[in-house]
Amino acid sequence: MPLDMSMRCLCILLLSLQTIHIVAQRNTMKLQLYNEQASDGSVGIYADNSEFYPISIQLNPETSHMDIDPTYSNPAVVPPRTEGYQIARLVGRAGKSWKFNYAFASFPGDVSTAHHDDSHIYQLPYATDQIFWISQGYQGVLSHQGENALDFDMPIGTPVHAARGGVVVDLVEHHDRSCSDESCNQFNNFLHILHDDGSFAAYAHLQKDGILVDLGEVVAAGDLIAYSGNTGWTTGPHLHFVVFITIVGRRETFQTQFDLRNGSSGLLREGSEY
Ligand SMILES: [Zn+2]
């Protein structure tokens, strides 16, 4: 089919299906999809990922008189900071007028391999000479329903240390507002660290301009990374800490073992001090 003929048949609809709304995470990713026709007439669908973490893309193509090359996996995983990554190939059938459109959903991380190493022992995310209490624990009724997150009650400006090593992959630190309802979720300052098992840690409600590490930086457990604050959807100063992976369609959060600084390790409990 001549190029001008096939181009007239193209009908493309780009639609992000991502509607997951989560505390401590932007709900948009720096991701672009586009398509180009190759010299052999097939159509490649490509992605540019400007983020510092991999992005998984589930493509939902609708085609007429086209075949989808099965050698491309779906979901596709686009590496961090990568342009022109081909995620699919569509081949028009000879002698037919073909068309296609597609929707897609995108998820932070590599949904094909991400898991959580439950044997990993996390460090308490503050200096070794400090003690704080857990004002809200896993599945807490105030705002952690359905979420394995911890709230450490700590004053604004408390040094926050990495609970686990990894790569700094996302951060926001320009906000200076908070309130006790969801409308303030957009004002959350946060830091995300990607671990070597593909899970992420989120450190949330950080102080304005209180992040001490850069995107792409490798940090070790115990490194000073930020100062705590009271930004976003909060009822008072605290550090919200959650470990998660994304799987297609939802986010899974984890209860994690911590070094309790008394020679043992275990889960942290709401109302207890550590
Ligand atoms: Zn919380």
Ligand 1 centroid distance, CA of 149 (Å)? 6
Asked, for residue 41, whether it belongs to a domain, the answer is: yes
Asked, for residue 274, whether it belongs to a domain, the answer is: no
Same domain, 91 and 153: no
Structural domain containing residue 228: 121-266
Q: Which has more pLDDT, 4 or 147?
A: 147
Asked, for residue 116, whether it belongs to a domain, the answer is: no
Structure letter (DSSP) for residue 16: B
Same domain, 235 and 169: yes
Rounded CA-CA distance 89/5 in Å is 19
Same domain, 59 and 192: no
Q: Which two tokens stand for residue 79?
A: 């590496």
Each residue of 244-269: b (16+ CB within 10 Å) or e?
Answer: bbbbeeebebbebebbeeeeeeeebe
Query: CATH number, domain at 132?
Result: 2.70.70.10
Whether 22 shows a pLDDT value over 50: the answer reads no
Asked, for residue 113, whether it belongs to a domain, the answer is: no
Ligand 1 centroid distance, CA of 213 (Å)? 22
Ligand 1 centroid distance, CA of 169 (Å)? 20
Residue 103: beta bridge partners? 60
- Which residues have a Cβ under 8 Å from the Cβ of 90 and sit 6 or more positions away? 42, 43, 45, 61, 63, 66, 67, 68, 69, 100
Ligand 1 centroid distance, CA of 242 (Å)? 8
Which of 108, 137, 165 marks a domain boundary?
108
Ligand 1 centroid distance, CA of 140 (Å)? 8
Residue-wise pLDDT tens digits, 57-91: 999 999 999 999 999 999 999 999 999 999 999 99
State how beta strands 250-254 and 121-122 pair. unpaired
Which of 108, 133, 149 marks a domain boundary?
108
CA dihedral for 151, 152, 158, 163, sign (positive or negative)? negative
Asked, for residue 83, whether it belongs to a domain, the answer is: yes
Residue type, 56: S
Tell me what the mean pLDDT of segment 86-103 comes to: 93
Residue 128: beta bridge partners? none
Whether 16 shows a pLDDT value over 90: the answer reads no
Ligand 1 centroid distance, CA of 201 (Å)? 13
Ligand 1 centroid distance, CA of 141 (Å)? 10
First to last CA, the chain: 69
Same domain, 144 and 183: yes
Residue-wise pLDDT tens digits, 202-255: 999 999 999 999 999 999 999 999 999 999 999 999 999 999 999 887 899 999
Q: Give the Cβ contact number of residue 103 at 10 Å.
A: 14
Ligand 1 centroid distance, CA of 135 (Å)? 9
The continuous run of DSSP H or E covering 8 comes out as: helix 3-9
Q: Which has more pLDDT, 17 or 222?
A: 222
Q: Give the Cβ contact number of residue 106 at 10 Å.
A: 22
Same domain, 80 and 215: no
Residue-wise pLDDT tens digits, 29-41: 899 999 999 999 9
Domains contained in the chain, number: 2
Same domain, 98 and 196: no
Ligand 1 centroid distance, CA of 62 (Å)? 41
Q: 218 near 40, Cβ under 8 Å?
A: no
Whole-structure pTM value: 0.88
- How high is the pLDDT of residue 27? 59
Which of 108, 142, 172 marks a domain boundary?
108
Whether 28 shows a pLDDT value over 90: the answer reads no
Residue 139: what are its φ and ψ, rounded to 5°?
60, 25
Same domain, 84 and 217: no
Asked, for residue 257, whether it belongs to a domain, the answer is: yes
